[in-house]
């Protein structure tokens, strides 16, 4: 069996259950499906598996739609079909269950877990087939079980797993509809895939154990099973499966930190797959051109947040300045920004944006880089203060103030020359001489290039901040030593 190609009408699907924040693993599955659909000129179906009414919430569904759209997968794209909702297919699920029963491929069962355990002597054993030939009809409380073939093997075509074979005698007679008549996931999922004419089921490895059962259902319902591809599990730096209790897994959280959607897409595409030639950072179209689900590795994939962040830095630097400014926008305003709308100055931001662009890896880092421009007082980092305000800072700052007060024009180059000259007077190289000025004005020892920053901040505010620092140093000197 081959990888999806343009010779067949490829229909893939992403079938999330809206039971929580949108997991990066789900995003990876969606993208791999999207890439297959794009590559083959096929269709990507979005099916929301919303049958677990107790756990589903409409806002999670909206969250999935928004997150997919942020990554480029949306209904306006001709590759996209849906969303369909599993709950709207209940009639078909019931009809399929009825058909399997009528054909003798399924039977009703009234055994409790305890009954089975008492017979087998093992509370964890699978179902023992007790009701197989009892000929029970439906009654409330009776589950419908699939009659698994006694002999033979179930062969599954899996493009990632090398076509696993499952002996049928190891597959219990599994439940397909509960005692209240409602179909279970295994059946609903298959019936929907059949209804949506899915040709390739590409999903997370955790569903591999379901696959022989689902393959049997496809066959019993008289349809040609799909080609499967089970994507490798995603793990953290301790090689543990990513879990929402332990790890940051919500796609939304990464976007809210300022990972660009394009960087996220690129990074997610590498979780279990490599585009070749040792290349990693590539435009999505090129990733799609190279993508083949048969090349996905079955070994677990490490979700490396550091690497993702570094990737993002590359994407940030590759933006045009205008796009960078636009991408920063959410962090420049309430509620993410620590300054008010009145304090914010778009022109000043635009002036320093090219300097900031080379320094931020996450867009959220923008605020600490530019807050000195907008807040009335710089955010003072006490450690930076202690480091920079050692002698001779108390003598140097008044000299710097005097030099800057008279400086013309107020531009980065003359500012640099003036501070260089003041430093020389105190026997300091520029690096050391500018530290007290930087901390006085920005509050921190690290930040954007100082003299460009001062140029944008303006003379008046620069001098006021140096004055405040001089006063603070004088107060400290006047206090009795402890
Ligand atoms: N709703 C299932 C899940 O979110 C989908 C399983 C599948 O892709 O077949 O895990």
Grouping H, G, I as helix, E, B as strand and the rest as coil, residue 195 is: helix
Report whether residue 203 contacts ligand 1, using a CB cutoff of 6 Å: yes
Cα–Cα distance measured from residue 45 to residue 86, given in angstroms and rounded to the nearest whole number: 12
Res. 5 pLDDT band, cuts 50 70 90: low
pLDDT at 1 over 50: no
Query: What average pLDDT does the segment 400-413 reach?
Result: 98
Residues in the chain: 482
Q: How far does the centroid of ligand 1 lie from the alpha carbon of residue 42, in Å?
A: 20
pLDDT at 481 over 80: no
Please compute, for residue 108, the number of CA atoms within 13 A of its CA located in the half-sphere on the CB side: 14
Q: What is the mean pLDDT of the chain?
A: 95
**Percent of the chain beyond pLDDT 90?**
93
Report whether residue 207 contacts ligand 1, using a CB cutoff of 6 Å: yes
Q: Of all atoms in ligand 1, which is nearest to the CA of residue 189?
A: 9
Q: Of all atoms in ligand 1, which is nearest to the CA of residue 29?
A: 8
Cα–Cα distance measured from residue 212 to residue 167, given in angstroms and rounded to the nearest whole number: 9
pLDDT at 482 over 60: no
Q: How far does the centroid of ligand 1 lie from the alpha carbon of residue 48, in Å?
A: 9
| Protein residue with its CA nearest to atom 3 in ligand 1 | 16
Grouping H, G, I as helix, E, B as strand and the rest as coil, residue 308 is: helix
Res. 407 pLDDT band, cuts 50 70 90: very high
Grouping H, G, I as helix, E, B as strand and the rest as coil, residue 239 is: coil
Res. 463 pLDDT band, cuts 50 70 90: very high
Where helices occur in 199-343 by DSSP H, the ranges are 211-220, 251-256, 261-269, 284-290, 305-318, 321-328
Report whether residue 465 contacts ligand 1, using a CB cutoff of 6 Å: no
Q: Specify the pLDDT at position 284.
A: 97
Cα–Cα distance measured from residue 157 to residue 127, given in angstroms and rounded to the nearest whole number: 27
Could you give the dihedral angle defined by the CA atoms of residues 343, 348, 349 and 353, in that order, rounded to the nearest 10 degrees? -160
**Strand 175-177, strand 165-167: pairing:** unpaired
Out of 244, 387, 390, 429, the active site residue is: 244
- The closest of 376, 378, 428 to 399, measured between CA atoms, is 428
Report whether residue 192 contacts ligand 1, using a CB cutoff of 6 Å: no
Under DSSP, the state recorded for 332 is G
Report whether residue 16 contacts ligand 1, using a CB cutoff of 6 Å: yes
pLDDT tens-digit map of 244-303: 899 999 999 999 999 999 999 999 999 999 999 999 999 999 999 999 999 999 999 999
Residue whose pair of structure tokens reads 């996209």 in the numeric block: 80
φ and ψ of 324, to 5 deg:
-65, -45
pLDDT tens-digit map of 326-353: 999 999 999 999 999 999 999 999 999 9
Identify which of 207, 212, 214 to mutate to test ligand 1's pocket (most ligand atoms within 8 A of the CB): 207
432 given a catalytic annotation: no
| Protein residue with its CA nearest to atom 5 in ligand 1 | 15
Q: Which residues contact 290 (CB under 8 A, 6 or more apart)?
A: 275, 276, 282
Cα–Cα distance measured from residue 171 to residue 129, given in angstroms and rounded to the nearest whole number: 11
Q: Specify whether the CB–CB gap between 216 and 235 falls below 8 A.
A: no
pLDDT tens-digit map of 77-96: 999 999 999 999 999 999 99
Report whether residue 17 contacts ligand 1, using a CB cutoff of 6 Å: yes
pLDDT at 4 over 80: no
Query: Between 185-195 and 90-102, two packed helices, what is the crossing angle to 10 degrees?
Result: 100
Q: 48: which strand partners?
A: 85
Q: Specify the pLDDT at position 125.
A: 83
pLDDT at 110 over 90: yes
Query: What average pLDDT does the segment 112-134 reach?
Result: 93
| Protein residue with its CA nearest to atom 6 in ligand 1 | 15
């Amino acid at each position: 069996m081959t990888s999806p190609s343009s010779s067949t009408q490829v229909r893939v699907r992403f079938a999330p259950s809206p039971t929580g924040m949108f997991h990066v693993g789900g995003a990876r599955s969606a993208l791999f499906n999207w890439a297959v659909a794009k590559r083959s000129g096929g269709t990507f179906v979005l099916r929301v598996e919303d049958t677990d009414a107790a756990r589903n919430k409409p806002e999670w569904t909206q969250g999935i739609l928004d997150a997919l759209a942020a990554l480029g997968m949306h209904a306006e794209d001709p590759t996209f079909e849906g969303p369909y909702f599993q709950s709207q297919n209940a009639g078909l699920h019931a009809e399929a269950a009825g058909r399997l029963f009528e054909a003798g491929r399924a039977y009703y069962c009234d055994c409790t877990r305890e009954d089975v355990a008492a017979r087998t002597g093992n509370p964890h054993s699978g179902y023992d087939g007790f009701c197989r030939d009892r000929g029970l009809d439906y009654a409330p409380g009776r589950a419908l079980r699939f009659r698994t073939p006694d002999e033979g093997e179930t062969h599954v075509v899996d493009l990632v797993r090398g076509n696993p074979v499952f002996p049928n005698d190891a597959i219990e007679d599994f439940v397909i509809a509960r005692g209240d008549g409602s179909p279970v996931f295994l059946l609903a999922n298959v019936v929907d895939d059949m209804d949506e004419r899915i040709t390739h089921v590409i999903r997370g490895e955790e569903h591999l154990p379901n696959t022989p059962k689902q393959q049997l259902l496809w066959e019993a319902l008289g349809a040609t099973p799909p080609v499967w591809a089970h994507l490798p599990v995603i793990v953290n730096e301790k090689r543990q499966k990513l879990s929402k209790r332990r790890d940051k897994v919500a796609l939304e959280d990464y976007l809210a930190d300022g990972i660009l959607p394009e960087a996220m897409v690129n990074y997610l595409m590498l979780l279990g797959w490599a585009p070749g030639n040792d290349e990693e950072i590539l435009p999505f179209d090129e990733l799609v051109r190279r993508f083949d689900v048969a090349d996905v590795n079955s070994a677990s994939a490490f979700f490396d947040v550091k690497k993702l962040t570094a990737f993002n830095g590359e994407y940030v630097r590759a933006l045009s300045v205008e796009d960078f400014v636009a991408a920063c926008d959410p962090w420049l305003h309430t509620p993410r920004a620590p300054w008010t709308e009145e304090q914010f100055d778009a022109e000043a931001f635009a002036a320093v944006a090219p300097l900031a662009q080379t320094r931020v890896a996450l867009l959220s880092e923008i605020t600490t880089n530019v807050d000195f421009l907008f807040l009335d007082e710089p955010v003072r980092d006490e450690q930076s203060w202690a480091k920079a305000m050692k002698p001779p800072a108390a003598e140097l700052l008044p000299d710097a103030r005097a030099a800057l007060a008279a400086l013309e024009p107020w531009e980065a180059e003359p500012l640099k020359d003036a501070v260089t000259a003041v430093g020389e007077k105190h026997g300091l190289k520029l690096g050391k001489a500018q530290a007290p000025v930087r901390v006085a004005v920005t509050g921190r020892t690290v930040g954007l290039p100082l003299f460009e920053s001062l140029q944008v901040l303006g003379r008046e505010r620069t001098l006021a901040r140096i004055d405040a620092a001089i006063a603070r140093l004088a107060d400290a000197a006047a206090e009795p030593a402890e």
